[in-house]
């Protein structure tokens, strides 16, 4: 249940050609530490370009975040993609809502996120494939830090080093 289908260093490193080749048409993207640093608004040029390129190629994209702030919608607006906040991942509700928005079948939809216990586990609950990315910044919400510790144990992952968002 906790094994992602693929790993990527970050969102912009996910190959759109490979997704296409796997029959993927809808992408559910986590926000914090996948698309932007935790609690930040700043979009890295590479990630923004990846989203624009994916949209231009006809992929449907929805942001699904457990964060409840207006930031989620604002970033969605900047990118021109729908955003679902307060998703309560790993519970299925937010993912199912995203599937309705995308209009893609589960087999043609993938989840990209930085957390095993929300993004990957939630994808599994819904029968969706998933890609686990490295967190953009080491800083996290307290509850997330506890889960990170468990992720490191399970994946043999090193603590995330801070990097340029």
Nearer to Mg ion, 30 or 134 (CB): 30
Nearer to Mg ion, 114 or 151 (CB): 114
Applying CB under 5 A, the residues found at the interface with Mg ion are 30, 32-34, 114
The contacts of residue 135 (CB under 8 Å, 6+ apart) are 33, 34, 38, 114, 115, 148, 160
Nearer to Mg ion, 17 or 164 (CB): 164
Nearer to Mg ion, 86 or 103 (CB): 86
Are 152 and 158 in contact by the 8 Å Cβ rule? The answer is yes
Nearer to Mg ion, 24 or 137 (CB): 137
Q: φ, ψ for residue 62 (rounded to 5)?
A: -135, 135
Residue 108 DSSP one-character state? G
Angstrom CA distances, 79 to 82, 83, 144, 146, 153, stand at 9, 10, 26, 31, 35
Residue 89 DSSP one-character state? T
Instruction: Provide the total of helices (H) and of strands (E) in the chain, helices listed first.
Output: 6, 6
Q: How far is the CB of 33 from Mg ion (least distance, A)?
A: 4
Q: How far is the CB of 127 from Mg ion (least distance, A)?
A: 21
Place of tokens 């996910």: 14
Q: How far is the CB of 23 from Mg ion (least distance, A)?
A: 25
Q: How far is the CB of 138 from Mg ion (least distance, A)?
A: 13
């Amino acid at each position: 249940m906790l094994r992602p289908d693929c790993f990527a260093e970050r969102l912009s490193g996910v190959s759109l050609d490979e997704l296409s080749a796997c029959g993927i048409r809808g992408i559910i993207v986590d926000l914090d530490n996948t698309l932007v640093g935790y609690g930040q608004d700043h979009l890295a040029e590479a990630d923004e370009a990846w989203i624009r390129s994916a949209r231009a190629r006809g992929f449907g994209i929805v942001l699904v975040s457990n964060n409840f702030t207006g930031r989620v919608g604002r970033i969605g607006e900047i990118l021109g993609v729908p955003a679902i906040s307060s998703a309560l991942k790993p519970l299925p509700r937010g993912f199912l809502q995203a599937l309705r928005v995308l209009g893609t079948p589960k087999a043609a939809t993938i989840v990209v996120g930085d957390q095993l216990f929300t993004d990957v586990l939630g994808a599994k609950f819904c029968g969706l494939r998933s890609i686990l990315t490295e967190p953009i910044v080491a800083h996290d919400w307290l509850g997330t830090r506890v889960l990170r510790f468990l992720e490191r144990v399970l994946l043999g992952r090193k603590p995330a080093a801070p990097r340029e968002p």
